[in-house]
């Protein structure tokens, strides 16, 4: 009777020391491959986090623009109602703040041309509102400043506002 021949594999014929080195090498390769995958994943995660942070910065700046526009509008209404110079100064301050927030927003949106075109339309709308408000009586009253510059002795009050400066 013939005994079946035992079929050995390549690994079975290797010495024990080489088998251990091959096992450790394979595990080391898997460890390095897994860590490389993790590093790539962490890099993508950081990019995602950066974009999310940028988006929140844009949204916060857009909220600042909205708030500044409301403050400017409230200051304009206050000036139209009260006609006080300090109300107009509040309007000018709010207008400067709005311009600064719009410039900041424009700086944040340089990476998105579509949003820049929308920002251009917003800026044009805000400028149009300011122009229309100025034509409807928002412009500072020149006679107030004239009255403040003139002395009482040089003014004749005959039912009209007159200033000789």
Q: What number is the average pLDDT over the span 118-143?
A: 85
Tell me the three state secondary structure of residue 7.
coil
Q: Is the pLDDT of residue 164 over 70?
A: no
In-domain check, residue 128: yes
Q: Which of 49, 50, 54 is nearest to 107 (CA)?
A: 54
Contact 102, 119 (CB under 8 A): yes
pTM to 2 decimal places: 0.64
Domain coverage including residue 113:
16-140
In-domain check, residue 38: yes
Q: What number is the average pLDDT over the span 32-60?
A: 96
| Summary mean pLDDT of the chain | 84
Q: Is the pLDDT of residue 61 over 70?
A: yes
Q: Is the pLDDT of residue 109 over 80?
A: yes
In-domain check, residue 154: no
Contact 119, 103 (CB under 8 A): no
In-domain check, residue 108: yes
Tell me the three state secondary structure of residue 14.
coil
Q: Is the pLDDT of residue 152 over 70?
A: no
Q: What number is the average pLDDT over the span 88-117?
A: 93
In-domain check, residue 129: yes
In-domain check, residue 151: no
Report the number of distinct structural domains present in the chain: 1
In-domain check, residue 61: yes
In-domain check, residue 147: no
């Amino acid at each position: 009777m013939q005994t079946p021949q035992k079929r050995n594999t390549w690994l079975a014929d290797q010495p024990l020391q080489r088998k251990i080195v091959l096992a450790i090498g394979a595990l080391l390769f898997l460890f390095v491959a897994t860590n490389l995958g993790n590093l790539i994943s962490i890099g993508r995660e950081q990019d995602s986090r950066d974009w999310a942070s940028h988006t929140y910065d844009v949204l916060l700046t857009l909220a600042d623009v909205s708030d500044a526009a409301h403050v400017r509008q409230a200051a304009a209404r206050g000036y139209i109602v009260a006609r006080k110079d300090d109300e107009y100064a509040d309007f000018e301050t709010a207008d400067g703040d709005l311009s600064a927030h719009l410039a900041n927003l424009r700086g944040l949106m340089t990476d998105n041309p579509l949003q820049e075109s929308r920002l251009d339309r917003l800026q044009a709308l805000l400028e149009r509102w300011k122009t229309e408000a100025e034509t409807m009586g928002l412009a500072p009253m020149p006679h107030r400043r004239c009255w403040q510059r003139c002395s009482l002795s040089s003014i004749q009050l005959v039912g009209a506002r007159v200033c000789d400066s």
